[in-house]
Structure 1
Amino acid sequence: MTNEFPRSLCIGLFGTGRVASQLAPALVAAGHQLAFIWSRTATAATALAATLPVTPALATLAPPLPAADVYLLAVPDAAVEPLLASVSWPEGALVAHLAGALPLSVFTALPAVRGGVLYPLQTFSPGRAIDWATVPLCVEAATPAAETVLLALAGSLSRHVLQLNSAQRLKLHVAAVFANNFTNHLLGIADALLAEAALPPELLAPLVRETVDKALNNPPFTVQTGPAVRRDAPTLAAHSAALAAHPAWQALYAQLTASIQAQL
């Protein structure tokens, strides 16, 4: 990694949502300066800026845009391309989105912009502090110079920096949805079923911890257990009957059972 630019970067941050609200203080803590924070909701930008030292809230996107070494788009995926098209970017500006599923090619329509990606592989929720040093940060860029800057920025935040192309990042994002979002949904179903039986949710905690620990230390398919693996037809039928009041969950149970058995 070269030293063609100062370690402390000046960053323009677009967004005030779950990612931006945790990224902004992390950038400051890493020694970077925020040139501004912008949000579609001016009050949200003002509120986030007020929690940080010497950070202005940008009230309008009318040109000229305040100068920055990097512009980070911490906005919803669907908002990235409209935002890119609506801003008069400085010539040669380095602009990076933080989305897992959006390709680098979203910058193709803006040849004057150096496009990049800085994707944090983590789930962000209000009230939960993130240890950025442990968050895998996935970098992709349109030019070697842009890549160098984004790698340095990523390295100032995390110990786990990866260079992934758009196809790899998309597959990673799909995997993350299975590992995180779908798993959380299944835990929600389990929690609801326990509540119906007047049972405390903490009953499942040791089982969940052991399941995750095994899956992280072994190829998950090789440590699969349960009635689907055993092809225990009476138990599978009893479970299906117990889910009769929840047809969607019953169908999901059947689909997951079939998927498990297809891996045997």
Structure 2
Amino acid sequence: MKISFVGSGNVAWHLAQAFEDAGHWICEVYSRDTQKARQLASYLYDTDIQPDLNFSESEAELIVIAVSDDTIESIIERIVLPEGVILVHTSGTRSLAEFQKLVEIYSDVYVHTGVFYPLQTFTKEVEMDYKELPFCIESKNELIENKLIQLAQTVSNNVNRMDSDERFILHVAAVFASNFTNHLLTISHCLLEKEQLKFDLLKPLIQTTFRKALESDDPSLGQTGPAKRGDWKTTGRHLEYLQETDEDWTEIYRLLTDKIRNFYISK
């Protein structure tokens, strides 16, 4: 398939290379920052730098809008599309209906719309196994949806039809599982660094915690610690230390301790 990208951030950086490795042609890359578009194109075989959002002469069969959620509308307002192209976004939260309505308002030609959402935390130049990467696909047109599914299957063995409501819930869960978890690890790192202790000491514990969660159908079965046990003497000493250290960490610790304890009391 002939594919072009709007955006040159983490998602575009990974998807463009994954598609090319699967035998697809990345025709063009557009970015507000031309240097970033040039950098991404340098990793690809035969890709042009698109100077603006006029894709009317593009050979692309699929144009992927891989930008932040709050930028999608401004892109749709300005992009000029070839008739009949498939236009998709990669957002976990923007609904297909909302996206399609914007396209109908601003596009002078008929185009197909869809969602091509990769459920992953992406960082440039950090390699990953695309075969395990979950893709969530949606289109109101069954033929287009099948094309997007077939495209995803050239990259991954984990491809799912998913409507906008399901995708939104999945994104909420992903924020808890990834973003919030990573922030808690960041707090742990900062706490140890402040006391001149090595974060490496926690890595075996972190690995075991995640291994147990991944091997179980219910992560709650692997919960341990003073909050679950109701060990208020220990949590009290922790809070005394945190109150002298950082107010925000104290608030997070108290909130999570209460929520963990209440969860297991209710069970």
Question: Normalization by structure 1: what TM-score?
Answer: 0.93
Q: Does 1:72 align with 2:61?
A: no
The answer to whether the 8 Å contact 2:73/2:102 transfers is no
SS in 2 for 1:157: coil
**Given the superposition, is the C-alpha separation of residues 48 and 63 from structure 1 closer, same or farther in structure 2, using an over 3 Å criterion?**
closer
The Cα of 1:45 is off from its aligned counterpart by 1.4
SS in 2 for 1:35: strand
Aligned partners of 2:81, 2:55: CA distance in 1, in Å?
Answer: 8
User: Which of 105, 110, 118 is the aligned partner of 2:103?
Assistant: 110
Aligned partners of 1:204, 1:65: CA distance in 2, in Å?
Answer: 54
Q: Which amino acid is 2:7 matched to?
A: G
Q: Which amino acid is 2:102 matched to?
A: A
Q: Which amino acid is 1:256 matched to?
A: L
Q: Which amino acid is 2:210 matched to?
A: V
Aligned partners of 1:55, 1:20: CA distance in 2, in Å?
Answer: 13
Q: How many residues align?
A: 256
Partner of 1:159: 157
Q: Which amino acid is 2:143 matched to?
A: A
The Cα of 1:113 is off from its aligned counterpart by 2.4
The Cα of 1:99 is off from its aligned counterpart by 0.8
Aligned partners of 1:173, 1:139: CA distance in 2, in Å?
Answer: 14
The Cα of 1:102 is off from its aligned counterpart by 1.0
SS in 2 for 1:187: helix
Aligned partners of 1:39, 1:215: CA distance in 2, in Å?
Answer: 39
Q: Does 1:85 align with 2:84?
A: no
The answer to whether the 8 Å contact 2:55/2:82 transfers is no
Q: Does 1:241 align with 2:240?
A: yes
The Cα of 1:142 is off from its aligned counterpart by 2.0
Aligned partners of 1:186, 1:46: CA distance in 2, in Å?
Answer: 36
Aligned partners of 1:232, 1:89: CA distance in 2, in Å?
Answer: 62
The Cα of 1:76 is off from its aligned counterpart by 1.1
SS in 2 for 1:243: helix
The Cα of 1:132 is off from its aligned counterpart by 1.0
Partner of 1:42: 34
The Cα of 1:65 is off from its aligned counterpart by 4.1
The answer to whether the 8 Å contact 1:74/1:98 transfers is yes
Question: Aligned ranges for residues 153-192 of structure 1 at < 5 Å?
Answer: 153-192=151-190
Aligned partners of 2:206, 2:21: CA distance in 1, in Å?
Answer: 34
**Given the superposition, is the C-alpha separation of residues 22 and 109 from structure 1 closer, same or farther in structure 2, using an over 3 Å criterion?**
closer
SS in 1 for 2:115: strand
The Cα of 1:107 is off from its aligned counterpart by 1.4
Cα RMSD (Å): 1.3
1:111-144 CA-to-partner distances (Å, cap 9, x unmatched) read 4221111111111113311221110111011211
Q: Does 1:100 align with 2:92?
A: yes
- 92-101 or 106-115, which moves further after superposition? 106-115
Question: Aligned ranges for residues 1-264 of structure 1 at < 5 Å?
Answer: 9-62=1-54, 64-105=56-97, 106-111=99-104, 112-218=110-216, 219-244=218-243, 245-264=245-264
Q: Which amino acid is 1:54 matched to?
A: D
Question: Normalization by structure 2: what TM-score?
Answer: 0.92
The Cα of 1:90 is off from its aligned counterpart by 2.3
| Structure 1 residue ranges (4+ consecutive) displaced by more than 6 angstroms after TM superposition | none
- 91-100 or 44-53, which moves further after superposition? 44-53
Q: Which amino acid is 2:180 matched to?
A: F
Q: Which amino acid is 2:238 matched to?
A: H
Aligned partners of 1:34, 1:13: CA distance in 2, in Å?
Answer: 8
The answer to whether the 8 Å contact 2:212/2:219 transfers is yes
Q: Which amino acid is 2:249 matched to?
A: W
Q: Which amino acid is 1:93 matched to?
A: V
The answer to whether the 8 Å contact 1:107/1:113 transfers is no
The answer to whether the 8 Å contact 1:38/1:45 transfers is yes
Aligned partners of 1:197, 1:47: CA distance in 2, in Å?
Answer: 40
SS in 2 for 1:34: strand
**Given the superposition, is the C-alpha separation of residues 63 and 21 from structure 1 closer, same or farther in structure 2, using an over 3 Å criterion?**
closer
The answer to whether the 8 Å contact 2:62/2:86 transfers is yes
The answer to whether the 8 Å contact 2:54/2:81 transfers is no
